[in-house]
Chains A and B, each alone.
Chain A
Amino acid sequence: MQSRRKLVLATVAAALFVSAVVAAAAGLMLASEADAAGSGRTTEERVVALAVLALAGSAVCCWAIVWLHRQYVEAPLRLAEELAATLAHSGLRIGAYRAAELRQLAKVTNQLLSLRQTREDDVAERIREARASLEEERSRLAALMADLSQSVVVCNLDGRVLLYNQRAKQELSAGADGSSAKLLGLGRSIYTVFDRTLVEHALERLQQASRDQSATGSRPLIGSVQFVTATPAGRLLRAHMSPVIGGEGQHAARVGGLSITGFVLVLDDVTTINERHARRDELIQSLLERGRGPLGSIRAASDMLADFTDMPVHQRDRFVGVIRDEARVLSVQFEQAAAAFSNDLRERWLLEEILGAELVAVAARRIGERRASERRVLAVKTENLDEDLWLRVDSFGLLQAIRYLALRLQDEYAVREVRLSLSRSGPLAQLDLSWLGTSMNNETAMSWLQDPMTIGGDVSPLSVTEIIERCNGDIWFQRERVSHRAFFRTMLPAAEAPKDLPRAIVVPGEGDRPEFYDFDLFGWSAAGHELDDRPLAELSYTVFDTETTGLQPSQGDEIIQIGATRIVNRRLLRHECFDQLIDPRRPLSPESIEVHGITPDLLVGQPTIETVLPVFHSFCADTVLVGHNAAFDMRFLQLKEKLAGVRFDHPVLDTLLLSAVLHASQSSHRLEAIAERLGVSVFGRHTALGDAMVTGEVFLKMLPLLAEMGIRTLRQAREASQRTYHARLRY
């Protein structure tokens, strides 16, 4: 309606304007005719009037054109620009326009933009939620894995480790000398721990064992294989290998119609089991073989005695003597075997270590539970509790036995309160269940201990005595007339506190993923990629730093500390680090002590460089080395290569040089300065590991900035580094 009115207005205005021009022209013509008629106006006056009229007319025209241009040409162009900007930033809105049409257009556009933003936010929120739940699931998995008593390692088909648990780290990382070489790590090759041919052979068998039978209508068969191998520390591991099925793509292998993307290794330490089996075999073997001789002699002698009854007495005595001698020999052998075997026999029961105090506490709780058949709850007191006493028992059976005795006391002797005590007695633990009153006699007690246990309606096939014997203990009934108390006393062998370290449950920090797994590595494949042309984001790095006795490696300065951490899949692995002091075999200068704070006494008894470097070398396997001012550290490492028998020919990136690439105009490329520029908080500096961590963080912040500059591959990063001024510095 309004636009129509505008059209009418514009038409009227144009008509009026044309009429005015025509009227003016007509006026002039009439005026000139009047002049010709001799009225008193000069020609000059008429020219001036005409000029004024023309000027005024032009001005009006110009103004109208400019106004129209602004309103209907410039404004739409501006609108188009604004719209183009909203393509990139969904938060932007179209501004105000004078023209009502454009205002209308802007309004609708803004509505559209708002709608788009809401949708985008919604999608982002959903992605965030999905990711969070995925992370949560993964964390839960990691926590679960961490708590397993078996070692678990998951690898992709290249043998790269995607996941491992705490137990695997403990078992597989221990070096031959008891040192922790930490060779198990995310993205690392499993072949640093296991023999490659062994695993490949197992994989081959696995592929043979797995096949898809969907053609015949039955379900796919997923096979598994087992093999036994030894760790560097000399432990025997039984590995159970099964495939990770699923996922199409270039990193999967098609086997019998199944797509295998990796494999799971579940590892059991069978060293002790194997030792036990070997010992048992040896025992049986020796019993069999050493027994044959004496038995042969006895049998032959007895045959003679039986077959030749007419032999003279002295002959007879000789055969009897043979039988007596050999029987004695057999007896001794038998006793030895029995003694050796009894320990192994005990192992057959599932005995577990339990803190004695804990067992007593549970027993007290179980006894004190209200029973349906009984109005009164049996009171339990504990006394003389040895808090540090460990037992190795069948705790379930033992608890059952204690409860059975206590409840029977309540039922048959109306005992209202029992006491439990646990104390050490030499190599044994003494567990007493005592009560007031001595009316029970030995025969009753004996039958309680030897009859199958009955609690409520439950009948156990075992007697108390059997359970206690199973725990390698002994139980008896005793009375103390003085204190008017009676008790069942159980003697059990005291055990050592279990040596296993408590396993840490992995709790991811804020925004921090636990570092025991990285399933994104499934898609990794080293094959077919030259390291140089692989994206920086995809590479594994060892970020390292050294502390030294001084700055002149060529003049005898030595490394005294190496600290390193790893970056895999753009994550700094804080749990997989290398931190080692090194005996430099030379005195430290006071100035250097001021820098690194490592005093000579800290270096006493530390390994020397030629034992540390091979370990560090395997820590760095298959990675790109990253250091701040790496040339300096590399020089120290390379000078020791011959001595240590390893070569550090890894690709190297230097955060100092990369900083110069990124911020060429900045004057300082000190680690602190870079860290500050990139917003990395600095702590623990001037320990090798602390510096390595900071360097790693800095390097991670650099990666996206480098990508913005078009530096995406290792080759590009190295070339850019070389071009910078600092690359010409030589040490």
Chain B
Amino acid sequence: MSKKILIADDEQNIVISIEFLLRREGFEVLVAGDGEEALAKVRTERPDVVLLDVMMPKMNGFDVCQALRADPDLGGTRILMLTAKGRDTEISKGLGLGADGYMTKPFSTKELLAEVRKLLGI
């Protein structure tokens, strides 16, 4: 069974590439355009990995991350945070809130893929 990945980012231009890439790599890909939608989709679709952008409308990535980690049912969901700020303090905040990994834009798609595979243990 193919792994399910949720991309939560409101930047359509980055979503296009990541979605294309992950599909080509054989993953099942879901997309959410804001924080609330992301949270809802995680609960209904139970993806294996969430690519979570920090700056999103309605609910930011940190809050989504915190809400996911507060739910014991979702303990197995891996969270990879994506950010356009890249301050050290922000990275440690994300990891502190329970994210499994962190990538700062702009990143190479190869690294992203490697990170996703690492989180999935494949």
Residues of A within 8 A of B (CB): 288-290, 292-301, 303-304, 307-308, 311, 315, 318-319, 322, 325-326
- Contact (Cβ within 8 A) A319 B16: yes
Q: Is B21 an interface residue (CB 8 A)?
A: yes
A352 to B13, CA, bound (A): 49
Q: Is B108 an interface residue (CB 8 A)?
A: yes
- Contact (Cβ within 8 A) A293 B17: no
A297 to B20, CA, bound (A): 13
- Contact (Cβ within 8 A) A296 B105: yes
> Other CB < 8 Å A-B pairs besides A294-B13, A301-B13, A304-B109, 15 of them?
A289-B84, A292-B84, A292-B106, A293-B14, A295-B105, A296-B11, A296-B82, A296-B105, A297-B11, A299-B107, A300-B18, A300-B21, A303-B108, A304-B17, A315-B20
- Contact (Cβ within 8 A) A303 B16: no
A441 to B59, CA, bound (A): 68
- Residues of B9-57 at the interface with A, using a CB-CB cut-off of 8 Å, are 11, 13-14, 16-18, 20-21, 24
Indicate which residue in A290, A296, A308, A311 contacts B14 across the interface (CB closer than 8 Å). A296
A347 to B82, CA, bound (A): 38
- Contact (Cβ within 8 A) B17 A303: yes
Indicate which residue in A294, A300, A325 contacts B17 across the interface (CB closer than 8 Å). A300
A325 to B16, CA, bound (A): 13
A296 to chain B, nearest CB (A): 3
Q: Looking across the interface, which residue of chain B has its beta carbon closest to that of A307?
A: B109
CB-CB under 8 A for A308 and B24, given A293-B14, A319-B16: yes
CB-CB under 8 A for A300 and B85, given A319-B16, A319-B17: no
CB-CB under 8 A for A303 and B110, given A315-B20, A322-B13, A326-B13: yes
- Contact (Cβ within 8 A) A296 B107: yes
Q: Is B86 an interface residue (CB 8 A)?
A: yes
- Contact (Cβ within 8 A) B17 A301: yes
Q: Is B92 an interface residue (CB 8 A)?
A: no
Indicate which residue in B11, B13, B83, B109 contacts A303 across the interface (CB closer than 8 Å). B109
5 smallest beta-carbon distances between A and B, as pairs? A296-B105, A300-B17, A297-B13, A292-B84, A296-B106
Q: Is B66 an interface residue (CB 8 A)?
A: no
A296 to B112, CA, bound (A): 12
A290 to B85, CA, bound (A): 8
- Contact (Cβ within 8 A) B17 A289: no
B118 to chain A, nearest CB (A): 18
User: How many chain-B residues does the 8 Å CB contact rule pick out?
Assistant: 22
- Contact (Cβ within 8 A) B85 A289: yes
Of listed A288, A289, A308, A311, residue having the most chain B CB within 10 A = A289
A294 to B16, CA, bound (A): 13
A716 to chain B, nearest CB (A): 67
A303 to chain B, nearest CB (A): 4
Q: Looking across the interface, which residue of chain B has its beta carbon closest to that of A299?
A: B106
A307 to B113, CA, bound (A): 13
A581 to chain B, nearest CB (A): 55
B112 contact set on A, CB distance < 8 A: 300
- Contact (Cβ within 8 A) A325 B109: no
A294 to B105, CA, bound (A): 9
B17 contact set on A, CB distance < 8 A: 297, 300-301, 303-304, 319, 322
A258 to B107, CA, bound (A): 60
A319 to B85, CA, bound (A): 24
B18 to chain A, nearest CB (A): 6
A295 to B107, CA, bound (A): 9
- Contact (Cβ within 8 A) A304 B107: no
Of listed B16, B17, B20, B24, residue having the most chain A CB within 10 A = B17
A-B contact pairs, 20 of them (CB 8 A): A288-B86, A289-B84, A289-B85, A292-B105, A293-B84, A295-B106, A296-B105, A296-B107, A298-B106, A299-B106, A300-B17, A300-B18, A300-B21, A300-B109, A300-B112, A301-B16, A303-B21, A303-B108, A315-B20, A322-B17
B21 contact set on A, CB distance < 8 A: 300, 303-304
A295 to B105, CA, bound (A): 7
A315 contact set on B, CB distance < 8 A: 20
Q: Looking across the interface, which residue of chain A has its beta carbon closest to that of B21?
A: A304
A296 to B14, CA, bound (A): 7
A464 to B60, CA, bound (A): 54
B13 to chain A, nearest CB (A): 4
B23 to chain A, nearest CB (A): 11
Q: Looking across the interface, which residue of chain A has its beta carbon closest to that of B107?
A: A296
A308 to B24, CA, bound (A): 9
A289 to B105, CA, bound (A): 9
- Contact (Cβ within 8 A) A299 B84: no
B75 to chain A, nearest CB (A): 29
A294 contact set on B, CB distance < 8 A: 13
B16 to chain A, nearest CB (A): 6
A288 contact set on B, CB distance < 8 A: 86
A319 contact set on B, CB distance < 8 A: 16-17, 20
User: B72-98: contact bitstring with A at CB < 8 Å (1 yes, 0 no)?
Assistant: 000000000011111000000000000
- Contact (Cβ within 8 A) A297 B86: no
CB-CB under 8 A for A293 and B20, given A303-B110, A322-B13, A325-B13: no
